[in-house]
Every structure is written in structure tokens, then in C-alpha cells.
């Protein structure tokens, strides 16, 4: 029985802090990854970079709307952010397998900073146009796609395979803290300094991660070494899809992550202004702020519950039912007209969404072949991040026909139905494995009986 995913066909080998193999994860130690001081600093740096990412969204999206009032450009903001994840994640994953992950992360942070500085220059000189805005939006999304695979490989290098589940959960929690505080700090910069000075200040939040990558000894491959340096091509990187399809558990985990991204994804934030304007009990602007906070708070609480308690086990079964509950709470949120009920649904949904994403990420990374771990993480990124642009279609297109509330509910219902199909498929796999194991045991017993006792 696999202690990582709960399936009978997987028995991964974990390692202790000295690199010696051992069996089973260290579930008894809470917040285990925080015992590594470099990992602690890394999580803080990641939180600041994610906060800066969201600060840039607050400042630039406001300026773009004030300048152009273009709904088409608003839609492009979402597409440009997630399209690089969809197209380039396998290739960037292949680079993470064979390159120093520190340099890749530094490259991503440098690109983030350059994009923020370019926004500031355009704001300052009054030369902002639609075409240069689109280029910067695409580069910003590319920086995020480049950052993702080496970020995950660095976690395993810091703490080892044994503590990887803890590191993935805490990293997801730190990123959610960045998402939670990003709009708050971004709004403060917008009101206090204005968008031009604010975007230049935002560059500083990327510096801690950049400096850490310059001083740490960890490369993403320190424990296990680099993959042999084969030539990396986009076509070659995409071929990992075929290799991944041979492991049904990995495929199901990637599908689960992709379902949540495709059917709901970024559409919660898109629908939030419309829903907050129709809730009762407070003004629309106050409700909007409260509901956004509740959405971010759910992600943070999910990380604390996963890491600090045993309420949610990091297993395939937990990943399935948390995805289903995420869909159910999204349906309930879509129909909630009271701000308290809507907030509660968002908190519960945020908890389940973080649990689903961190558990599926952990299982995929643990079960992936060592030589292609970065590429498999890249494939996971295609589903978990790249498919978020699909939620603009599933909710946005239906929103024009049914209204945002009904379209969000219908899309979340699709998530529930598809999750049920994945659960049924996994149940079939378990039954087949049990039948094969019983047949093998019966065959072994029959062979032993036919041979009879061995003479001493």
C-alpha cells in the first residue's frame, strides 16, 4: 500500500534527512518542512513574490481599465496570464530537470521585475498603448510559467522526499497568503502612492527570492543529481504526456487538478463583483472586499488544517472528495444572497481547493519518474494552471446566456459530475488490483501445494 496516495500498486521509497531510504512519510511531525531554515526563508520569499504578482494585477488592471475601458482587453488579461502555463509548462519542466533551478527561478524573478519596471516607465511617460500592454501581460504570464516547475523541485531538494508533502502544503499556504495580502497591499499602494510609484515599489518584493537563489547551495538537484543533459525541445517535452498516461493514478490526479481549474478556476474572481452587488446585509463594495478576503482565508486555513491536524489525509480519496465539495460549495455560493452564507461557502471552498491542489501536486511529484520529475510537474502545471483560462469560457460564455450566477452554478455542477466519473474510474482500478492480487495469491498457493513438501 502506498503511503503517499493510498493505492495498492505504488510503494514509494522515502528518504530521511541523511539520504538513507526508509518507508512511509513522517506524518507525526507537524509543519515538518519548517525545520529546514532555508526552506523557511524560501517560503517567505515565495509569499512575497506571489504578493507582488497580485499587486501588479491590482495596479495594472486598474490603469488599463481607466485608459481603455475595453472589455476585450479585460478578457485578454486573463488569457495572457494562463496561456503560457498551458503552452510552455512541459518545456519549462524539462529545463528544470536538467538545469540549475536557482538560475531558472532568478530568471523568472528578473522577468517579473523587468515587466513591473516597464509598466512604471509607460505610466510615467504616458506612452501606454494596447499593443505594449498586451506584450507585457504575456511576459508576466511567461515569468509565472517559468517559475512554477523549478519552484517545486527546490522544495524536494530542501527537505527530501520524506517531508515533501509538508513542503508542498506549506508552499501552497504561503502562496495563498501572498494572494490574500496582494490586493490589500496593492490597494494601499494605489491610494497612497499612485499606480506609477506603486509599480516601481512593487519591484522590491521580488528581490528577497532573487537574493536567496544567489546564496543558497541547493540547486533543485543537490540530493539526486542532474538528469543527463539531453537536448530539450518543445516537441520532446510534450512527449512526456505519453509517458505520464501509463500511470493511471498520476493521470487521475492531473485530471482532478485540471477539472477545478477548467470549470471554476479564475471565474470566482470574475463573478465576484456581480454577486457581491446582489448580496444582502451590507453595501456592494464592502461585500466585495469581505468575499475576496473569505476566498483567500479559505486557502490559508486549508494549509493549516492539512499541516497541523490529521483531519485531511494526503490520499487519493481525500483529493477526490475535496474536489467534489469544492464544486458543491461553489454551487451554494452562486445561489447565496446573504453575505454570511456566501462568505462561509467561500471559506469552505477555499479549504477544499487548497487541499485538492496540494494533495494532487504531492502525489504526482512523489510518483513521477525521477528522470522526468520536472516534466511531469510541467504537465501538472498545464492542467492546474493552464486550464484556468478555460473557466473564462465555461463561466464567461454561459454568463452571457444565463447570467453569472447561473453560469457559475452550471460550471460547478460540471465539476461535480466529472469528479464523480474520476472517482468511479479509480474505484474500478482498485477492484481490478484487488482481483489481480487475489488471483496471484491463489496461483502462488496452488504452485506451492503442487510441489508438495520438500525433503530435508
- According to the 3-state scheme, what is the secondary structure of 301-327? HHHHHHHHCCCCCCCHHHHHHHHHHHH
With 0-12 / 13-18 / 19 or more C-beta atoms within 10 angstroms meaning exposed / middle / buried, residue 206 is buried
CA 395 to chain centre: 20
- Structural domain contains residue 150: yes
CB 408 within 8 A of CB 291: no
Residue 253 lies in a domain: yes
Q: Which domain holds residue 420?
A: 33-442
Domain count, the chain: 1
24 falls within a domain: no
In a domain, 3, yes or no: no
Please list the pLDDT of the chain residue by residue as tens digits (456 residues): 454 455 544 444 344 444 433 334 444 577 888 888 999 999 999 999 999 999 998 899 889 988 887 767 877 887 888 889 988 888 898 888 888 999 999 999 999 999 999 999 999 999 999 999 999 999 999 999 999 999 999 998 898 878 888 888 889 888 888 988 888 888 889 888 999 999 999 999 999 999 999 999 999 887 765 555 555 555 665 677 777 777 888 888 999 999 988 888 777 766 777 777 788 777 777 787 788 788 888 888 887 887 777 677 778 888 999 999 999 999 999 888 888 899 999 999 988 988 888 889 888 888 877 777 788 888 888 888 888 877 766 666 666 677 778 888 888 999 999 999 999 988 888 788 777 777 777 777 777 665 555 444
Residue that the C-alpha cell 490574500 belongs to: 180
Tell me, yes or no, whether 18 lies in a domain.
no
pLDDT at 419: 94
Predicted confidence at residue 396, as pLDDT, reads 60
pTM as predicted: 0.79
- CATH code of 295's domain: 1.20.1250.20
Let me know if residue 309 belongs to a domain: yes
What are residue 128's phi and psi, to 5 degrees?
-70, 130
| H or E, element range at 314 | none
Which pLDDT value is given to residue 130?
A: 92
Is 223 part of a structural domain of the chain?
Answer: yes
In a domain, 448, yes or no: no
Confidence at residue 387, expressed as pLDDT on a 0 to 100 scale: 86
Residue 391 and residue 383 in contact, taking contact as beta carbons nearer than 8 Å: no
Amino acid at each position: 500500500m502506498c503511503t503517499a496516495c493510498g493505492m495498492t500498486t505504488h510503494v514509494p521509497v522515502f528518504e530521511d534527512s541523511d539520504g538513507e531510504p526508509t518507508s512511509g512519510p513522517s506524518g507525526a511531525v507537524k509543519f515538518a518542512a519548517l525545520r529546514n531554515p532555508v526552506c523557511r526563508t524560501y517560503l517567505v520569499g515565495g509569499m512575497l513574490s506571489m504578493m507582488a504578482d497580485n499587486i501588479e494585477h491590482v495596479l495594472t488592471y486598474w490603469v488599463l481599465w481607466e485608459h481603455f475601458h475595453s472589455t476585450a482587453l479585460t478578457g485578454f488579461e486573463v488569457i495572457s496570464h494562463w496561456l503560457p502555463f498551458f503552452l510552455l509548462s512541459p518545456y519549462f519542466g524539462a529545463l528544470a530537470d536538467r538545469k540549475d533551478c536557482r538560475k531558472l527561478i532568478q530568471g523568472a524573478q528578473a522577468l517579473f521585475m523587468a515587466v513591473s519596471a516597464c509598466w512604471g516607465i509607460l505610466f510615467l511617460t504616458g506612452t501606454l498603448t494596447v499593443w505594449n500592454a498586451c506584450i507585457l501581460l504575456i511576459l508576466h504570464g511567461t515569468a509565472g510559467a517559468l517559475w512554477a516547475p523549478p519552484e517545486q523541485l527546490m522544495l524536494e531538494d530542501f527537505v527530501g522526499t520524506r517531508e515533501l508533502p509538508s513542503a508542498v502544503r506549506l508552499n501552497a499556504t504561503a502562496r495563498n497568503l501572498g494572494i490574500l495580502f496582494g490586493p490589500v497591499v496593492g490597494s494601499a499602494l494605489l491610494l497612497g502612492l499612485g499606480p506609477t510609484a506603486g509599480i516601481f515599489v512593487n519591484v522590491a518584493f521580488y528581490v528577497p527570492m532573487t537574493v536567496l537563489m544567489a546564496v543558497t547551495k541547493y540547486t533543485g538537484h543537490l540530493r539526486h543529481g542532474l538528469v543527463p543533459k539531453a537536448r530539450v525541445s518543445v516537441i520532446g517535452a510534450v512527449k512526456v504526456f505519453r509517458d505520464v498516461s501509463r500511470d493511471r493514478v498520476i493521470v487521475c490526479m492531473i485530471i482532478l487538478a485540471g477539472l477545478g481549474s477548467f470549470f471554476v478556476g479564475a471565474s470566482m474572481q470574475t463573478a465576484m463583483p456581480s454577486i457581491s452587488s446582489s448580496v444582502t446585509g451590507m453595501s456592494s463594495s464592502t461585500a466585495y472586499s469581505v468575499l475576496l478576503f473569505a476566498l483567500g482565508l479559505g486557502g490559508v486555513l486549508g494549509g493549516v488544517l492539512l499541516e497541523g491536524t490529521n483531519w485531511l489525509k494526503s490520499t487519493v480519496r481525500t483529493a477526490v472528495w475535496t474536489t467534489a465539495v469544492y464544486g458543491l460549495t461553489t454551487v451554494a455560493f452562486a445561489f447565496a444572497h446573504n453575505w454570511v452564507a456566501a462568505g462561509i461557502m467561500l471559506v469552505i471552498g477555499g479549504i477544499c481547493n487548497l487541499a485538492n491542489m496540494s494533495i494532487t501536486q504531492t502525489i504526482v511529484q512523489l510518483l513521477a519518474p525521477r528522470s522526468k520529475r520536472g516534466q511531469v510537474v510541467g504537465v501538472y502545471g498545464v492542467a492546474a494552471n493552464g486550464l484556468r483560462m478555460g473557466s473564462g469560457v465555461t463561466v464567461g460564455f454561459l454568463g452571457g446566456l444565463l447570467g453569472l450566477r447561473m453560469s457559475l452554478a452550471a460550471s460547478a455542477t460540471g465539476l461535480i459530475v466529472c469528479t464523480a466519473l474520476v472517482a468511479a474510474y479509480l474505484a474500478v482500478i482498485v477492484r481490478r488490483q484487488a482481483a489481480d492480487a487475489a488471483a496471484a495469491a491463489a496461483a502462488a498457493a496452488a504452485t506451492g501445494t503442487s510441489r508438495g513438501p520438500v525433503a530435508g
